[in-house]
Structure formats: C-alpha cells, structure tokens
Structure 1
Amino acid sequence: MMRHDPTRRAFLTRAAALGCSAAASPFMTPIAMASAPGENRLVVIILRGALDGLDALRPMGDPHFAALRPSLSEGGTPLGDGFFALHPELSGLAPLWQSGELAFVPATSTPYRDKRSHFDGQDLLEAGIAGDAALARDGWLNRALTLMPGSTARTAFALGRERMLILDGAAPITHWQPGTKLELGPQARLLLDYLFIQDPLFTEAGLTALEMGSAPGMADAPRGPAGEVLARYLAEQMRAETRIASLSLSGFDTHQSQKNRLRPALRNLQTTLLTLRAELGPLWARTTVLAMTEFGRTARENGTGGTDHGTGGAMLLAGGALNGGRMIGGWPGLSEAELYAGRDLMPLRDVRAYAAWALRDMFSLRASDLGQLVFPGLDMGDTPGLLL
C-alpha cells in the first residue's frame, strides 16, 4: 500500500484547467472502505458531476415538467404513484421499489449555493460541512468512525488518482493509487468529450476502460462494466470485516446531449446497485446504500439538449434494511415561483440530515454528536424513518 501524499484539493487545483470534465472525470473513480463493529453495512456512493435528479427521477405528474424539458421528459418507468417515473436506464430498479428496497429524496442538496463549482461542491458533500470549501479538512464518514467503539480503518483504500475526502481524517486509513499515470492534456480531453457526445456506445466502453484499465494488477481481474467490477469487489470485502464503504461513480456532468450522455452513467449506477444486492446475498438485509451528488441541475434544459449546474437534486437510497417504496421529503413544484432563484429545483431539506439519520439508526450514534461533530451545525430535524 502507498500513501497518497498530495491533498485532493492540490490535485484538483492542478486539474482545474480541464474545466468541468475534470471533476466528473472517469479517471477519478475511487473506492474507500473501513471496518466497524456490528453487522449493519453502509455504502455511500458519490455521483460525481452533479446528477440531474429531474431526469433520473422524472416528475411526470408536475404540470410544468414537460414545458421545461421538451426533449428530456418522454418515457420512463412509472413507480405507481401517478407522479414519478424512473429514467429508462434505471428501469431495472423497479423491482426494488416494489419490494421496499429503493427510495428517493426528490428535492435535497448540501448547503452549498450559487457558486456551482464541482470541486467545492464535492468537497463540501464529502466533508459534510457548510460554508467555505477551503475549510474541508476531513470527511464525515471518518468522523463518524471515531465515535464507534471498537471500529478500525484497517481496510481503507482508494482506487484511482485521487483520495476520497469522505473517509479522510483522524481515523487511520491507507490510500492506494495506480502506479501507471495516465495523463491527458486539454485537447485530448476535448477530443474524448466530442467522441462521447457523438457515440453513446463509445461512451460506455470508454468510461469502463478508462476507469479500470490503468490500475496495475487489474489485468487478471474480473471483467465487466466498471460498476459491476467495483461492486463485486466491494461485496467481497463487506462479506468479511468491512462495514462502511464509499465509492464514487462518474459521468453525471451533462451540459450537452444529455439524452445520450447520461444513459451510460445511470446504467452503471443501476449495475452497481444490482450487483451489490446479488453479491451480498443475505447480508443485503442489513445493508443501506446512500447515493448522493454535489448539487442538482437546472430545471430547464439548455439550447444544446443538456442541463447546467443547479441546486436541488435527488438522493437515491437502497438496501434490504431500508423502509423504501416511497418518496421522502416532499415535492416543491416546478412553477417559476416555486423554483430556487427562478431556475433550479428548490431543495426542501439538507442532504446531510438523511446521512445523519442513517448513521444514527444503523450504528446507534447520538444525535448530539452527529449534529456537532460529524456534521457541524446540522439541524437533523425529525426522523425520516429511513430504516425498517
């Protein structure tokens, strides 16, 4: 194992010249794990690039939806409530909804507002703090570990070019990075972006190859979509000592041609969840998955068939321990008067509150510690009743 010396922010600063695509880059697909006492399992998935929650979870019953998104509002798998439908690439999750193993928070976000930087948004999401992203020093999952008697971080690792802030901190963890450095200049990145836009099949193959292909020791590893490979390895560890895990999936930055560009990312997310469920077997009943993103996207599609950086977005929850088959937290509406700043979905509750309640219910942490130490300054509010 190797220590990853440069800080995440320093790496991202050097990568900033690549623009938005750097923060959502397929080269940055880390996975982190830590052991903790008890039999409950928690998986946190960071969806890098700002998932468009209005596309993943389409509010077909809102009278303003179709007008805001003339090319991004057709189709989907109805969830039986007469209002929401899953994106077609998430239709394989419908059985989980029906069995109570899937739920959504359709309008939530971190406290981050208006600046709309992927880098800052991801730092604040993983640090679990409000305010200046430059103050992000450690991650909320790491701080939670320090409150769990008998917990260790003897199995904590990052697969990719960056460290995961969410599990960084006082609890001892180890970072691992590929020995092979794959460097891309801005022009090469632009070329790949162009190819991804033109050919969605190339996008899926390209993301898979770039995410998994440069890691040493992967030549003999199981092949398949990136989400499947990661989930299978993750499940193997969670069948042993690992109890808390965090990984990130990329490809959710969809400024252009969203209809094509979002499909492989959602397919990869679905594959990750279904693979985890299958590989964990009976342990799925003790597992909760939280899928979170740095911010949402604009309610209106733009002139290139994409969406821009926004505010409110969707959170996905899954697992056999989940009290699912429902929408959590309400719906703000999509009329202009109901939008945040006249452009974005209005968040109704801090996404950190849902993570805090999951930690409390799964690991018996005190609400006072969660609101002061793990998520400083957070008002957890009433319980959303996430778990059975």
Structure 2
Amino acid sequence: MTDLLLSRRAFLIGCSVAASPLVTPVSFASASGENRLVVIVLRGAMDGLDVVRPVGDTAFAGLRPTLSANPGPALNDFFTLHPAAESLMPLWKSGELGFAHAVATPYRQGRSHFIGQDALENGTDQTDGTMTSAHDGWLNRAIGLMKDATPETGVSVGQQRLLVLEGDAPSDHWFPVEESQLSGQGAELIAALNAADPLFAEPFAEAQRLADTSDGMTGGVPRGKMQYAQLGTYVAQRLMGPSRIASFSLGGWDMHRDQVRSMAGQLKGLSDAILAMKEGLGRAWGTTLVIGITEFGRTARENGTGGTDHGTGGLAVLAGGALKGGHVYGKWPGLGESDLFENRDLLPTADVRAFPAWALRSMFGLEAAGLEATVFPGLDLGSDPGFLL
C-alpha cells in the first residue's frame, strides 16, 4: 500500500494538469530590440458588451436588464468598465489601457467555438472558418518574416501547443509540472472513481491530504485567481530575457448562464495577469503591447438563464506602455433592432486582425504586403488606427 501512495507531484501531474490556468499554453518568440508583444487568446467567446458596456446606447439596458445593472466605473460619457476589472482603471487613466469594440474575425458561419478559435489563431479570411493550406498560425508566419528571428523562435508552455505559433518557424514546448493543480470538480471526479476500488481509495485520500498544505495553498500554488497573477509574472520574466513575443490562452469565457458570477471571476483573473506583467516588466512595460482577442462575441440580448449565447461582434483588450490608451477604438454600430447583425448580435465594424497586424508593422517593422498576403490573408490594413505611441 505504501508503494501506491502518490507523491504530490505525481498526483498533480496524473490527475489534474488541465485544471490550472498555469498549464494553459504559453508561447514565446525571440527577436532583437526592446519592443514586446503579448497576445492573449480568450477562449470561449468573451462578452465584450459586458466587459465594456455601452450604457450611452439607449437600447442597451432593454436588451440586458440583468447584466446592465451595476455599470462600473465610467470610461467616458458612453462606455463603462465592468466593476470586476476596476483594478485596471489606473492603467486607463495613465493611457496604458484601451479597447477595440465591435471587432471580429471574418468567420461568420455557425458560431462554433472550435472553428472560431482555429480561425482566430490561423488568421484566415474565410467566412466559413476554413484555415489556410498550411494549417499554421498567424504569429508563426509573422515570425517567419522577421529578419532577426533566431532558431529558438518560440516555445509553447502547457499541455498543448498554441496553433497561433505553430508552423515552419521552430518552437519548443515547456510544461510547468510543479505548478499544476487539481480543481475541486476534478478532485471530486477522481475521488468518486477511486472510491470504488479499495486498492486506490486510501492512497488517493492520503495524496489529496498531502497536496493541501496548511498555508492556503494547493500543490504549492495559491488558490483561485492568484494563479493568473503567477502566469503574468512568468510571462514577464521570459520577456525580460531573450523573448520578445509571447502568446498564451485563458479559457472560461463561455457564459450561457449565471454570467454575473462567472464574468466577475474571469475579469479579476485577467486583470491580475495584466497587472502582474506590468509589475514584472518594470521599465520594459513602456515598450510592451498586450492584445487580448476572442473568437467571437455574444448575443446582444441576455438569455433566460442569466447569460448570453454565441454571437458575432466582440471586443479586443489592449494594454501596455506602448499603447495610446484611454480610448475605446472602433466605430460603434448601435444596438437598435435594425442595427444588429442578423437581429441578434453586435454588428462588427472592423476586422480584429488589423490590430495585431498594425502592432507587428509598427513594433517589428513587418511590411504591409507581407501582413496582408502572408500573415493575415485578405486583410486590408487600411489607414493606421493610431492606437500605438
């Protein structure tokens, strides 16, 4: 029986590697210079209308009688920020936080998470989400155009590699095993399975007891959203080394019910990660841009279970010292019945791909022709949106 007793590390690896945001994929790329770009993939279709609320639109409150309550701090005379992200307001006031509203990828058919996320990371211009022939990622293709990219261009951190960095450019894979932890739901599931077998029930219980330390930690990692702060700190540490481009994903944005509770937790975690990156980067924050993008938005109307369903127009989160912040970028389409896309969604008025494209052009010198043909096929860069200093 003693031989079957799991060590804390083995317990965490074997049972729960998917539970922690610290084991979500994180990718890094090396390039010379001091500019730094962080791309956060917000998986699950973040509700931009809840994060940055258009309270100045007369139709908003009627579409969301529950979700429009408690509007949070004012960004300007039209938009307010979700109260759970209030810790980011000092960045807004200092010009280090901004947003792009009513943006979307070209994907329009089906509103599928799987297709939408692939389309987002692949950078395709196909409305049905069909990926480019190489099935690679737009960030990998961008690195391939950088003349000073090194052979150690990228590294994915987590159980799986990020599609956005997959491709011909070489990459590595890093997995923070010692920082993995088991969620409460996962623990209950494993406990139920082991309880049916006397051989494993007692060792599992003992391993679980050892994993829960007396200082409020589980497996050496703080409980709750503090994990996101640790992730932000780790990314900052890597960007202070040879890496200049980082990408990681945060899941949990699919909120069909009980969105008030779910959104509060998600935004607290995202805010913690951004603030940890700022602190960890120090002076380098001044030449850093963080872009948070999601596969699509949510329905303009809240549903009957206190949530929202898959939509179209969404929101991009922008942060960093390289940002000309304090602005909500984009053309507002309105929320009137005749303004909605297919009478249900926020109408996209801009291609979300343009924001990382302009970041790559301004910060890393990529040519417009390469961005429009190779990195983001079919993209029309248009005029500079002016969101960078």
Looking at structure 2, the residues matched to 33 and 222 of structure 1 have their Cα atoms a distance apart, in angstroms, of: 24
- The farther-off stretch of 306-315 and 225-234 is 225-234
Matching residue of 2:196: none
Q: Structure 2: how far apart are the matches of 1:45 and 1:95?
A: 21
Query: Aligned letter for 2:86?
Result: S
Question: Shift of residue 150 of structure 1?
Answer: 1.6
Q: Secondary structure at the match of 1:44?
A: strand
Q: Is 2:21–2:227's contact at 8 Å kept on the other side of the alignment?
A: no
Matched with 1:129 is 124
Q: CA separation in 2, counterparts of 1:25 and 1:302?
A: 29
Alpha carbons of structure 1 residues 28 and 59: separation in structure 2 relative to 1, 3 Å = farther
Tell me which residue corresponds to 1:174: 172
**TM-score (norm: length of structure 1):** 0.81
Taking the aligned partners of 1:28 and 1:70, their CA distance within structure 2 comes to: 37
Change in CA separation of 1:24 and 1:289 when aligned onto 2, cut-off 3 Å: farther
Query: Which residue pairs with 2:282 in the alignment?
Result: 281
Cα–Cα, structure 1 residues 383 and 179, in superposed 2: closer, same or farther, change >3 Å? same
- Superposed CA deviations along residues 204-246 of structure 1, whole A, max 9, x for unmatched, are xxxxxxxxx9xxxx95678872211111111111111110000
- Looking at CA atoms only, which structure, 1 or 2, has the larger radius of gyration? 2
For 1:366, give the aligned amino acid.
E
Amino acid at match of 1:145: I
Shift of 1:159: 2.8
Contact conserved, 1:288 with 1:321, CA < 8 A, in 2?
A: yes
Deviation at 1:158, TM superposition (A): 2.5
In the other structure, the counterpart of 1:95 is 90
Q: Secondary structure at the match of 1:97?
A: helix
Inter-partner Cα distance in structure 2 for 1:117 and 1:294: 9
Aligned-pair distance for 1:377? Answer: 1.1
CA separation of 1:119/1:26 partners in 2, compared to 1, >3 Å: closer, same or farther? Answer: farther
What percent identity do the matched residue pairs reach? 53
- Of the three residues 142, 167, 170, the one matched with 1:144 is 142
- Is the CA contact (8 Å cut-off) linking 1:37 and 1:243 kept in structure 2? yes
Question: Does the Cα contact within 8 Å between 1:33 and 1:157 map onto a contact in 2?
Answer: yes
Identify if the C-alpha distance between structure 1 residues 304 and 220 changes in structure 2 by more than 3 Å, giving closer, same or farther: closer
Please tell me whether the aligned partners of residues 300 and 307 of structure 1 are also in contact (alpha carbons under 8 angstroms): yes
Instruction: Work out whether 1:348 is the aligned partner of 2:343.
Output: no
For residues 169-192 of structure 1, give each alpha carbon's deviation from its aligned partner in whole angstroms, at most 9, with x where no partner exists: 110001245779x9x9xxx78x99
Match of 1:73 in 2: 68
The aligned counterpart of 1:245 is 246
Question: Residues 238 and 28 (structure 1 numbering): CA distance in 2 closer, same or farther, change over 3 Å?
Answer: closer
> Residue 80 of structure 1: CA displacement?
4.4
Is 1:58 aligned with 2:53? yes
Over 3 Å counting, the alpha-carbon distance change for 1:267 and 1:80 in structure 2 is closer
Q: Deviation digits for residues 115-152 of structure 1, max 9, x if unmatched?
A: 01111101110111122545351111111111111212
Q: Is the 8 A contact 2:25 2:162 kept in 1?
A: yes
Map 1:1-388; keep pairs closer than 5 Å: 29-131=24-126, 132-136=128-132, 137-152=135-150, 154=152, 156-177=154-175, 225-388=226-389
**Structure 2: segments with no counterpart, 5+ residues:** 1-17, 190-211, 213-217
What does the per-residue CA deviation read over 1:32-82, in whole Å, with 9 as the maximum and x for residues that have no partner?
111112110000001010000000001111100000001000123333421
Residue 296 of structure 2 aligns with an amino acid whose one-letter code is F
SS at match of 1:78: coil
* 1:252 partner amino acid: W
- Tell me how many residue pairs correspond in the alignment: 337
Please give the alpha-carbon distance, in whole angstroms, between the structure 2 residues aligned to 1:169 and 1:228: 29
Which residue of structure 1 aligns with residue 207 of structure 2?
none
8 A contact 2:354–2:381 mirrored in 1: yes
Aligned partner of residue 314 in structure 1, secondary structure: strand
Worse overlay, 78-87 or 274-283 = 78-87
| Alpha-carbon separation, structure 2, partners of 1:247 and 1:339 | 32
- Worse overlay, 112-121 or 287-296: 112-121
C-alpha distance 139-25 of structure 1, shift in aligned 2 (>3 A): farther
> In angstroms, what is the RMSD of aligned CA positions?
2.6
The amino acid across from 1:146 in the alignment is G
Q: State the Cα distance separating 1:261 from its structure 2 match.
A: 1.2
| Residues in 2 aligned to 1:293 and 1:350: alpha-carbon distance in whole angstroms | 12
Q: Secondary structure at the match of 1:356?
A: helix
